[in-house]
Amino acid sequence: MDIESDKTYSVGLSQYDVGIGKLNTPVTIKTAPATKITDGQIRQTLASWIASGIIPNLGTKGAYNIFLPPGVTVSLSPLEASCAVFCDYHNTVNGSNGPFYTVEPYPCSKGCNQCTNSPLDTLTQGLSEEMVELKTDMNPGTGWVIGNLELCDYCDAKFVCNRITGGEYVNSWYDKNKKACWKGT
């Protein structure tokens, strides 16, 4: 899946003064995480991977997509855990200075895919949402929002199953030029 170059999806985000990204070579971290981790632990671990050269330092010009294996739960607070309160999210280690990242828990079995029962479709919907919101609101709450909602969160209230030209399911985002949520193929 390359949502970055799909002309019907990411290219439209230029109205928010964000460019088209590119995918870097993936890095697989072979050390398994604990079964329960916090966002604070993810921030610390990401910073240590960058400092030790395990992954390249993208500075403020890129983001890291962190995919968690099955059986790992991540929490934003003691009351907010993946697959119970949220599906995935994006954040930053140090505010507007980055580094920026998305966290993609192994696709939740319930509640995170309104289109199919496919774990891949669940992943592509979640990843597309977080990539859009990361690009338009890198330091959560300081970028493009509608009320208190990020661009995809706003469209979630009127959720529509959308696909890009490659057939992958993606999340809608608010198209301010059309004053409506983006609709795919």
Q: What is the pLDDT of residues 99-154, one digit of tens each?
A: 999 999 999 888 888 888 899 999 999 999 999 999 999 999 899 998 889 999 99
- Number of residues in the chain: 185
Q: What is the pLDDT of residues 57-87, one digit of tens each?
A: 998 888 999 999 999 999 999 999 999 999 9
Residue 55 domain-assigned (yes or no): yes
What is the greatest pairwise CA distance in the chain?
46
Residue 166 domain-assigned (yes or no): yes
**185 with 8: CB under 8 angstroms?**
yes
Domain extent, residue 71, equals 10-181
| Number of domains into which the chain is organized | 1
Residue 4 domain-assigned (yes or no): no
Residue 53 domain-assigned (yes or no): yes
Q: How many helices (H) and strands (E) does the chain have?
A: 3, 12
